[in-house]
Structure 1
Amino acid sequence: MQWQTLSNRPFLPPLYWRAALKRKISGTSLPDLGLRCRVSVDPKAVAVYRKVCGFADSPMLPATYPHILAFGVQMQLLTDKAFPFPLLGLIHLSNRIRVHRPLGGVGELWIGVHAQNLKPHAKGATFDLITTVEDALGLLWEGESRMLCRGVKLSGPAEDEPLPTPAQVSELTRWNAPSDIGRRYARVSGDYNPIHLSALTARLFGFPQAIAHGLWNKARSLAALGEHLPAANIELFVEFRKPVRLPSEVHLSASAAGSSGEWVLNGAGGIEHMVGRWQPIG
């Protein structure tokens, strides 16, 4: 892996312009490239993120917040000329977070981003976008987002083992996903994908309504789970099923608090939006 160190967090507008211009698949292999960048945690930005995602005040960063710190670096990688797949149109299938140590007293951090594990899929090909966060003591946090690019032709069998629907769960809470949550989350995350912003922009990409960001659904669920979850040495895995159309009401069901467990986010008519589990890091 060839690692490149960025002098500053990437400025997003040019990256969105680059993403808009690339609409075709240009290859079938991932670049041997990783990006690193030093970032600072802004307490005011964290406070706004907490409000948008429903997290209570705490000295600990939300487990999903490092994704916000890393978003610009991820965009820089995914819009690089060597990256073969167009960013617009990528589908986020699943997300795994590993919190190795408590996310408290965090100031200066190093973010690392690279892509790996390109595999055939029934609808194209998948790859894993890997994000690591380190502090002065070493590895603090890891994220793994599995992305699908439709239309990629790879040889070999397509492997797909979905997470089973949790059985031993009971309803914990429910909430409304308002029509403007995509725009509000975009302002705190930098993710202005048109499918999340309005019905008008979502229709350009085949969606009848705007849909909530998958990572907002995950963050909102983790905020609701709250004391169910350990603060560290925890892996949080979710699969995104059907998108949450905006506006809509959803309800969260989960197993009892403990070192491991499961949850599911459902909508009207029992539709499964997301299934997840938590467990100690193995």
Structure 2
Amino acid sequence: MATDWLDLPAPPALPGLFARAAVRRGTGGKALPELGVRSPVSVDPGHLERYRAVCGFTDKGLLPATYPHILAFPLQMRLLTDPRFPFPLLGLVHLENRIRVLRPLGGLGPFIASVAVERLQPHEKGATFSLITRLEDQLGLVWEGDSRILFRGLRLPGQPAPRASEESLPLEQLDQWRAPADIGRRYARVAGDYNPIHLSAVSARLFGFPRAIAHGLWNKARCLAALESRLPAASYEVEVRFQKPVLLPGEVTLLASAPAPEGQLALRGSKDVPHMAGSWRPSS
């Protein structure tokens, strides 16, 4: 069936959406709504520069590959806090993220950003769904993101789909950096994502973490910034799987396979703790 689109004149303000998320409890059903949210978006050059600085990107005249997630974040929040969306936002876990850069991300807009949910599936720890984010310009689709999200409060019949096997490539250290104690707050200021688990040790402990943890999309962005010279301007995709969280502060190491149209990456901490694993390839 066709998606029921909620067309907004501009991205919504975030404070009210966070308040709505904070009071939401319980499960409102076992099916995803055929609902989407879309809006015109434009890039503020100052904000873009702050994002590049926080994530380590250089200014090459194009938007960083992860930046459309930032443009669409208020729309994602609007959809995930809509009364028709059945799961509470607090407690959702971002498991995997795939982005497809179909054409060079040039210009500052205006673009049309849209978000929708699909593919509710059983998982060994609950149920997963995909939050699909798209960015379009006057020529059509230019970028697409797929965030696979876990909700632990629902069990579906059937077995989880097996993960496709992939031959591991040799990895070598490419870069190393320190994730400082305040990176969660610094990233939140540019991304708008003020999830308490990222902001301080005190707020993170309320959700079972000993210290604040880095945003998964900051980890991915920081890795792609280090991989910029190995990635083309367009026609590629990068998929990552989030593993153990990066506790703040922390030291991490980026490993990557040899430069090639297809490759693999891994982000690891001290004692080789796996934080993130992924791959890049030409987009299909």
Normalising by structure 1, report the TM-score.
0.98
| Alpha carbons 2:44, 2:108 under 8 Å: kept | no
SS of equivalent residue, structure 1 residue 257? coil
The match for 2:212 is: 210
Unaligned ranges ≥5, structure 1: none
| Alpha carbons 1:129, 1:146 under 8 Å: kept | yes
| Alpha carbons 1:265, 1:275 under 8 Å: kept | yes
* Distance apart, 1:121 and its partner CA: 0.7
Q: Distance in 2 between matches of 1:212 and 1:45?
A: 20
The match for 1:75 is: 77
Letter in 2 for 1:55: F
Deviation track 1:216-254 (CA, whole Å, cap 9, x = no partner) reads: 000000001120111100011000011100000000010
Residue from 247, 250, 254 that aligns with 2:249: 247
Q: Is 1:156–2:158 an aligned residue pair?
A: yes
Residue from 65, 68, 83 that aligns with 1:66: 68
| Alpha carbons 2:169, 2:263 under 8 Å: kept | no
**Superposition pairs for residues 213-232 of structure 1, below 5 Å?**
213-232=215-234
For the structure 1 residues 213 and 31, does the alpha-carbon distance in structure 2 shift closer, same or farther, using more than 3 Å as the test? same
Q: Distance in 2 between matches of 1:217 and 1:200?
A: 22
Letter in 2 for 1:173: D
Residue from 155, 176, 179 that aligns with 2:181: 179
* Distance apart, 1:158 and its partner CA: 2.0
The match for 1:132 is: 134
SS of equivalent residue, structure 1 residue 58? coil
For the structure 1 residues 160 and 88, does the alpha-carbon distance in structure 2 shift closer, same or farther, using more than 3 Å as the test? farther
| Alpha carbons 2:55, 2:221 under 8 Å: kept | yes
The match for 1:90 is: 92
Q: Is 1:168–2:191 an aligned residue pair?
A: no
**How many residues in Structure 1 have an aligned counterpart in Structure 2?**
282
For the structure 1 residues 232 and 178, does the alpha-carbon distance in structure 2 shift closer, same or farther, using more than 3 Å as the test? same
The match for 1:113 is: 115
| Alpha carbons 1:243, 1:273 under 8 Å: kept | yes
Letter in 2 for 1:159: A
* Distance apart, 1:108 and its partner CA: 0.5
Q: Distance in 2 between matches of 1:205 and 1:182?
A: 15
Normalising by structure 2, report the TM-score.
0.97
For the structure 1 residues 246 and 160, does the alpha-carbon distance in structure 2 shift closer, same or farther, using more than 3 Å as the test? farther
Unaligned ranges ≥5, structure 2: none
Superposed structure 1 runs of 4+ greater than 3 Å apart: 162-167
* Distance apart, 1:257 and its partner CA: 1.6
| Alpha carbons 2:98, 2:147 under 8 Å: kept | yes
* Distance apart, 1:59 and its partner CA: 0.4
The match for 1:265 is: 267
Deviation track 1:126-159 (CA, whole Å, cap 9, x = no partner) reads: 0000001000010000000000001202111122
Q: Distance in 2 between matches of 1:166 and 1:56?
A: 30
